[in-house]
Chains A and B, each alone.
Chain A
Amino acid sequence: MWFYDKKTQYPIKIKKPDPRMAIAILTQYGGPNGELAASLRYLSQRFSMPTKEAKATLNDIGTEELAHLEMIGTMVHQLMDKVPPKELEKLHVDTNYVIHGRAVYPSDSNGVPFTAAYIESMEDPIANLNEDLAAEEKARATYDYLISIADDPDVIDPLRFLREREVVHYQRFGETLRIVRETMGKKKYY
């Protein structure tokens, strides 16, 4: 189970609204390489992890991704908050506005709703961990794209933090894969 801590994992204080950037970042909320997909993937896969290191890693990275989901939602909210509808229309983000207003809805930047089809969860831990390594790299690449189109330091700073976390997660999943392979090798699997 979980308890809530009344803080984000990393400070977010965006002073300048930027609805186009909000919609770009939205893909990390409910898109294919986003934080919701990451969290659900790891928290579902953890049930079939065979070693204590792998159970803890999937459990805890899945939990951290929920904190990242909150960070992304916070960024989208602060970038959209109180922007007048006419302004949204001028910036071509009015299609999103007429469906959701300025709310945070789990979709990608094109408005495609979140789907569990973005993730896989198999009984085979080797297959799962290889998916997880790829997922972290895809999330890292998405943060690179977002950083390349952002110009406000208040936006770039938390995006950089999130990008770094994907690199660390990739590292931890690599170590976990090695541990699982060694353990399975000892048990005379292949």
Chain B
Amino acid sequence: MDEQTTLLEQIMAYDFALYDLQLFLNTHPSDTNALRDYKMALEQSENLRRQYQSKYGPLTARYLPNTTCWQWINDPWPWNNKEV
């Protein structure tokens, strides 16, 4: 697996953990352990996202790299299989 995919999959793992905690917190809004885990995963995800976007381009359209060209449209899109 190349470096870009490894980094992206790390972000996916943290973002998944965040979403799962979000659903849990919706029905357990005062669970301090879950709140603490959410905070930790959020910091990790934001950190990795910053790294990824500066190296490989936008994960969301609301990211403007220092270039003269709109990079949001660049491949791969999530349904494209890079390794085939």
Residues in A lying within 8 Å of B, measured CB to CB: 3-15, 53, 56-57, 60-61, 64, 70, 73-74, 77-78, 81, 168-169, 172, 175-176, 179
Residues in B lying within 8 Å of A, measured CB to CB: 8-9, 11-12, 15-16, 19-20, 22-24, 26-29, 58-62, 77-79, 81-84
- Assess whether A77 is in contact with B79, with CB atoms less than 8 Å apart: yes
Report chain A residues within 8 Å CB of B77. Answer: 6
CA distance A6 to B4 in the complex (A): 13
User: How many A-B pairs with Cβ below 8 Å?
Assistant: 75
Q: Which of A5, A6, A60, A73 contacts B26 (CB 8 A)?
A: A60
Q: DSSP majority for the A interface?
A: helix
Q: How far is the CB of A22 from chain B (nearest CB, A)?
A: 13
CA distance A56 to B25 in the complex (A): 10
A4-B61, A10-B12, A14-B81 are contacts. A175–B27 as well, Cβ < 8 Å? yes
